[in-house]
Structure 1
Amino acid sequence: MTTTNRIMLVDGMALLFRAFYATAMSNYFMINSKGMPTNAVYGMMKHLFTAIDTYQPTHVVCCWDMGSKTFRNDLFPEYKANRGEAPDELIPQFELAKEVVESLNIPNIGQAGFEADDCMGTLSRLYREDSQVFIFTGDQDMLQLLQPNVSVVLLKKGYGNYAEYHEGSFFEEKGITPAQMVDLKALMGDSSDNYPGVRGIGEKTALKLLIKHQTIEGILDNIDQLTKGQRNKIEQDLDMLHLSRKLARIHCEADVNCSLEDALFFIDEEQMGRKFDELEFKNWQKNIVGI
């Protein structure tokens, strides 16, 4: 099916964090005359405009985490507990980034209790029926959302370097379907999100088991076919296996919506220029917008 709508769902958190740490390593926080650090927002805009130039979307939506606690913390209090507080120079840039996105007439979407991932999953399900959707993120978890009309564009190091995934290319690379990725994460856990999965089972074993048995249910139904070591590990961590699957699955029923009309990509250049000048973005015409 060919569609004219090209909708880009942007992971605002991923872009902002990536941009911040790219310059924070050298203490380059770009503090303006009002004492406001702007390095993360400046870099985020550069990532955003580079992606827009590359993918030429007709519609753009930016999704955000709304606070650090989500339904996953209710399920597992240690979820993401290994992450420290955001650096002082980054904290004021969260709201600032949303202001700047708003000045570009791009909707900011988020829901308390859910992550940006859940919002992007919900919107991709909403839009994919009659539009081509590009999910723009740094998070491999989003690969579970791949569908015939949904691509995932992963940010690589630098600007304009992407790994673009489609349903078919993911299967060729991993040997499993995008939907099976939830079970993969449940088995091997996720150290960055701080849930263990089944202790002692890594990606290689998890992939092998899923290629043979398709799902966690398939593995459990055929547990007598597993090696003694694999069987013991799974039986010992059975509760955590089921819990890890709930944590790994992107929740595509968040209470968010954004009409195509609101998401239509149209920049008021005067409004954008005023905002960029107000924040004292240097050389933004050349470095961000590319004019």
Structure 2
Amino acid sequence: MLVDGMALLFRAYFATAVHGQFMVNSKGVPTNGVYGFIKHFLTAVSKFNPSHVAVCWDMGSKTFRTEMYDGYKANRPEAPIELIPQFDLVKEVVEAFDVPNIGLKGYEADDCIGTIASQVKKDALVSILTGDQDILQLLDEQISVVLLQKGYGNYLIHTKDTFYEEKGIQPRQMIDLKAFMGDSSDNYPGVKGIGEKTALKLLQQFGHIEGVLENLDQLTKAQRTKIEQDLEMLHLSRQLAEIKCDVPVECALDEAMFRLNRDKVINKFDEIEFRGLDRLLDIKEYA
């Protein structure tokens, strides 16, 4: 199981921060995001029982995508001040589980996930735990995606087949889908005026961006005009949308074997002053 660490941490933080519940410990450090991260993490490990686990992280806001397009994610506010000290703290907790923390400056967690999934899928079935649908482009015979839903322990599980049933396209075509329709959360526009419904129809008919461009004469005049006006942004959006699977990171399977040392984890919980999480540790243990 490859875990999108930021997806779990942010989800957990904002679920409680909205009510002002930051769980500050005696050292003055807010811990609400880390606490919720652990609940998400252990609930998923208990449910899916993975043999190996690694957690991937974003390593700052500057990436090769922001160099390509300075508007990329420019709509996102700075991290809340109560969350900032939790970035290092959550990685300490992951280390206490003897689970690798993986991240590389200049790349996003998704790129690390895509790279490692590509490396290990020949030897193992891979599941990716995230809240981000961008990762669905990685689906194939060996890779499934577990999307977090509201609350704890609620998941939408996608395989290559369920994705096709829902969208009518193959997972890799999702890159071109996002190139056409853009992504408001990542702040790139795609082709103005082309939404998901039209983009799906075009990809179902012509397969990919090149297929659409080779058959512009078959499109409506409005569609053709929109695409021709935003041709440069179409190609740029495709580059922004594609998860890189050749990032210089690696994680050998033997490094990620999940072997819970209960005493080590409980000592970490005591140090951070967490209460009530011990019961979630009733999963396989190898001291």
Which amino acid in structure 1 is aligned with residue 257 of structure 2?
L
Q: Match for residue 4 of structure 1?
A: none
Aligned equivalents of 2:143, 2:80: Cα separation in 1: 34
Q: Match for residue 65 of structure 1?
A: 58
> Structure 1, residues 93-135: CA drift from partner, whole Å, max 9, x if none?
0000000000100000001100000000000000111201000
Aligned equivalents of 2:282, 2:240: Cα separation in 1: 40
Alignment of 1:258 with 2:257, yes or no, is no
Aligned equivalents of 2:141, 2:56: Cα separation in 1: 22
> Structure 1, residues 10-46: CA drift from partner, whole Å, max 9, x if none?
0000000000001001000000011010000000000
Aligned equivalents of 1:160, 1:283: Cα separation in 2: 17
How far did residue 289 of structure 1 move?
A: 2.9
Q: Match for residue 245 of structure 1?
A: 238
Q: Which runs of 4+ in 1 moved over 6 A?
A: none
Q: Give the TM-score taking structure 2 as reference length.
A: 0.97
Aligned equivalents of 2:145, 2:22: Cα separation in 1: 30
Match of 2:128 among 119, 122, 135: 135
Aligned equivalents of 1:259, 1:277: Cα separation in 2: 31
Q: Give the conservation status (yes or no) of the 8 Å contact 1:46–1:289.
A: no
Aligned equivalents of 1:282, 1:25: Cα separation in 2: 21
Which amino acid in structure 2 is aligned with residue 45 of structure 1?
I
Q: Match for residue 221 of structure 1?
A: 214
Pairing 1:34-53 to 2, within 5 Å after superposition: 34-53=27-46
Aligned equivalents of 2:269, 2:117: Cα separation in 1: 30
Which amino acid in structure 1 is aligned with residue 149 of structure 2?
K
Aligned equivalents of 2:238, 2:282: Cα separation in 1: 43
> Structure 1, residues 258-288: CA drift from partner, whole Å, max 9, x if none?
11111000111111011001111121213x4
3-state SS in 1 of match to 2:34: helix
Aligned equivalents of 2:277, 2:194: Cα separation in 1: 48
Alignment of 1:123 with 2:116, yes or no, is yes
Which amino acid in structure 2 is aligned with residue 257 of structure 1?
E
Q: Match for residue 21 of structure 1?
A: 14
3-state SS in 2 of match to 1:29: coil
Aligned equivalents of 1:176, 1:279: Cα separation in 2: 46
3-state SS in 2 of match to 1:59: coil
> Structure 1, residues 127-163: CA drift from partner, whole Å, max 9, x if none?
1112010000000000000010100010000000000
Match of 2:269 among 276, 285, 289: 276
Q: Give the conservation status (yes or no) of the 8 Å contact 2:262–2:281.
A: no
Q: Give the conservation status (yes or no) of the 8 Å contact 2:60–2:105.
A: yes
Q: Which moved more, 1:175-184 or 1:253-262?
A: 253-262
CA-based RMSD of the aligned residues comes to 0.8
How far did residue 168 of structure 1 move?
A: 0.7
Which amino acid in structure 1 is aligned with residue 254 of structure 2?
E
Q: Match for residue 229 of structure 2?
A: 236
Aligned equivalents of 1:169, 1:26: Cα separation in 2: 36
Alignment of 1:108 with 2:101, yes or no, is yes
Pairing 1:82-101 to 2, within 5 Å after superposition: 82-101=75-94
Aligned equivalents of 1:122, 1:276: Cα separation in 2: 32
Alignment of 1:172 with 2:174, yes or no, is no
Alignment of 1:147 with 2:140, yes or no, is yes
Aligned equivalents of 2:40, 2:281: Cα separation in 1: 10
Aligned equivalents of 2:80, 2:119: Cα separation in 1: 35
Q: Give the TM-score taking structure 1 as reference length.
A: 0.96
> Structure 1, residues 164-219: CA drift from partner, whole Å, max 9, x if none?
00011100110000010000000000000000000010000000100001000000
Gaps of 5+ in 1: 1-7
How far did residue 74 of structure 1 move?
A: 0.6
3-state SS in 2 of match to 1:254: coil
